[in-house]
Chain A
């Protein structure tokens, strides 16, 4: 299960995008125009799609990743 911590850089003066109303996203405490979030998805392609959707929002000018867990992909259970 992919877990990604990311930082949304919001456009000045704009509220966070409505795309954040998604059960897979946990929103942290806003710091100026930066908003920390955590994305937890069932499949890795979902987190990428979610982050791309957020980056495409007119309220967001960039999304950067601060943390990613790869263990679901590289640790194969016996």
Chain B
């Protein structure tokens, strides 16, 4: 690098860092953004994009030159991250440049993947659909952009009359969805990240934001450095990096979170510190129905009181392991009106066989105590994927759902969807499709035994690494010649290596996109560089297959007027890759999808408004002057335009249709599998700071791979000493379903208690999901990756006869 260029870059780097350090400082405002970018010198083009990785939704500025991403800067204009990036965001540009990008379609012939043309690949998929449309399934992702997910949704439900479409988000946040639906009648948090700037107390319910959402966590910790008093309470099953910042660490036994929440409710009632006015005006009670349904049945205040009477602090200590004194501390905090309390959670409460129940109970704690609806007073779930909210929850790419909060089982919702799609009445199938676990069960089961899914098309995800109990849900299909697995991805993965057809995909700023983050913020970006080789957009792949079926005469690929399901303005033939970017397909699909968003008051602005903004939080409502206004706090009159004047708080999608939220009765129960004599330890799985989920992108980034090169099992020091196991020694972690061999990390980043081990799932060489359990929540169908019974043995011993 020549000295002039280095000087340029140093200037740009210092200007960006100085500006980021100055955000939020009234004394020293940041320098103009243009100054920083100009310092990079001529020839670098800058444009915005949300980060590719987690659900926080940080914005980056992407610097491109000569068709490559050459620089990344935190977007100072973005309210989410104010110019800062975590270690993954810092490397996001390099995720495009791994040496083994998939660049050509590959078809398995005689056991080997061999290159074929795109025309052949599209034809193969069309053949599989035509063979038996009802046995074709689509497995998508919370990393699908909104237009990608919408296209897949329309192709399946509006085209094939087939509801077997489900996303990997079923594995990560489905219980948050059912929790919101059961309590408020509508999905997604009422609050937003501003709550983190306003809360006096932040409670972490089984999540570790210091590693998983570091930029959000910094907003809390930053306030302390400014001299503000923020109490952080860490309720966990093991010590993590977040624990190091906590004022109180409450370690609970797996599944004990339900007892803790019930214990707080008990104290609010016993001490008379619940919010009587909020209860009278805004709440109703609910209990389980028979047969079980998400909406349950009405309960009374007296029934609720009788239920929680048993959850005394001493009883909760017995059930959860958290001391009665700490339960009282929590009860006292929620009983105070002078504090603002925000609860945060993520996978710990969602990957839970009682996920809907614990989500509902944490909402109940906030509602009954009145800690709701004011900045800083909020129960807020966080997501792990960049568009789990935007694409899965809002577009509804779930087996039972339709866009905009609709469901296939509702006659009116199907009729509305058919009208928006201009397809014949009756096109949308009323029967929900297979949820993720069921879909893969049916794919792994032989046809003769009722396994009626013959083909799955996977886009933007890696089920070979993430499905629980892989030995049962994934491997059997790979030995069955009737089953056909199609995978669209950017790198070879644990799934592509087993696939019958592999399609090379464009990623992130190699294509246009729209994501929706954890705080209802919709974020748009444009393609900034071209994908390598023959890699193409996932959305194009879906449209190209749809068009091939249309060309062959499949009726479902036509609308009521006989036009192609994805006909574009001006009849631009976007199924021809050379013409795909002649029109902004994302904008066309987004505007079509936008019609769906009003029913549940998830209103989106026109696409072009997002082009100008660093995201906007829905509902986004047009003002008399023609401008578009986002909503930060839903259900609160001071900010939500859909709350009637004078109501203060109004739950306008209430399940009881009376403006009330539901406080649920949910007892503590033990999980379906617990340690016993043969498998005496708990296993919890999860993520690490350096790698994003299965590591297929971050594993290609040398500094991240070097920082965290391989998986491990965290083992308690006393357990290790008792078993004679040393740090770094290889052990076998084994359940009733399978095993995984890993090196031991004692006193590492996480510190599990005795009888408990933790294994991250990012490493495809050590597939911990051969060990996990596919048992799932009855409502959300989300599996529990956080607890099952295992034994740990030294490998030499494990391998001995």
Interface residues in chain A, defined as those with a beta carbon under 8 Å from any beta carbon in chain B: 1, 3-7, 9-12, 26, 28-29, 31-38, 40, 44-45, 47-48, 51-52, 61-62, 64-75
Contact = CB atoms under 8 A, between A and B. Distances in A.
15 contacts: A3-B13, A28-B18, A36-B17, A36-B20, A51-B87, A64-B20, A64-B214, A65-B90, A66-B73, A66-B85, A67-B13, A67-B16, A70-B69, A73-B97, A74-B93
B530 interface: no
Contacts of B36: 67
A34 B224 CA distance: 12
Given A31-B28, A48-B706, A7 B225 contact: no
Chain A: interface secondary structure?
strand
Closest 9 CB pairs of A and B: A5-B13, A36-B17, A67-B16, A5-B17, A65-B90, A34-B21, A71-B70, A66-B20, A64-B84
Contacts of A12: 224-225, 227
B17 A9 contact: no
Given A33-B226, A35-B21, A45-B706, A7 B9 contact: no
B16 A48 contact: no
Contacts of B69: 70, 74
Interface stretch (B215-223, B547-555, B724-732): B215-223
A64 B71 contact: no
Contact of A65 (B12, B84, B96, B222): B84
A28 B221 contact: no
A67 B615 CA distance: 21
Given A3-B10, A52-B707, 12 more contacts: A5-B15, A5-B17, A9-B222, A12-B227, A34-B20, A36-B21, A38-B14, A64-B84, A64-B214, A68-B13, A69-B9, A74-B69
Interface residues on B, range: 35 or more
A40 B225 contact: no
A29 to B, nearest CB: 7
B66 interface: yes
B665 interface: no
Nearest to A67: B16
A28 B94 contact: no
Most buried by B among A1, A7, A40, A68: A68
Most buried by A among B16, B96, B218, B222: B16
A15 to B, nearest CB: 14
Contacts of A1: 1, 6
Contact of A71 (B65, B87, B221, B224): B65
B89 interface: yes
Contacts of B706: 45, 48
Most buried by B among A31, A66, A69, A71: A66
Nearest to B25: A31
Most buried by A among B40, B85, B90, B224: B90
B225 A61 contact: yes
A4 B6 CA distance: 11
B10 A40 contact: yes
Contacts of B25: 31-32
Contacts of A52: 707
A12 B1 CA distance: 38
Interface in B1-35: 1, 6, 9-10, 12-22, 25, 27-28
A38 B17 contact: yes
A58 B476 CA distance: 51
Interface in B82-103: 83-87, 89-91, 93-94, 96-97
A10 B218 CA distance: 12
B1 A38 contact: no
Contacts of A75: 65-66, 68, 70
B225 A64 contact: no
B605 interface: no
Contacts of B16: 5, 66-67
A67 B225 contact: no
B225 A33 contact: yes
B703 interface: yes
B74 interface: yes
A43 B94 CA distance: 15
Contacts of A32: 25, 225-226
A70 B73 CA distance: 11
Interface string B451-464: 00000000000000
B65 A67 contact: no
A62 B221 CA distance: 9
Interface in B55-72: 63, 65-66, 68-72
A3 B20 CA distance: 16
Interface string B684-711: 0000000000000000001100110000
B703 A3 contact: no
A51 B221 CA distance: 19
Most buried by B among A11, A12, A36, A65: A65
A74 B94 CA distance: 8
Contacts of A71: 65, 68, 70-71
A9 B226 contact: no
A71 B44 CA distance: 11
Nearest to B20: A66
Interface in B183-238: 214-215, 218, 221-222, 224-227
Interface in B428-475: none
Contacts of B218: 9, 62, 64
Contacts of B702: 44-45
B10 A9 contact: no
A35 B10 CA distance: 16
Given A34-B21, A38-B14, A62-B221, A67 B71 contact: yes
A36 B18 contact: yes
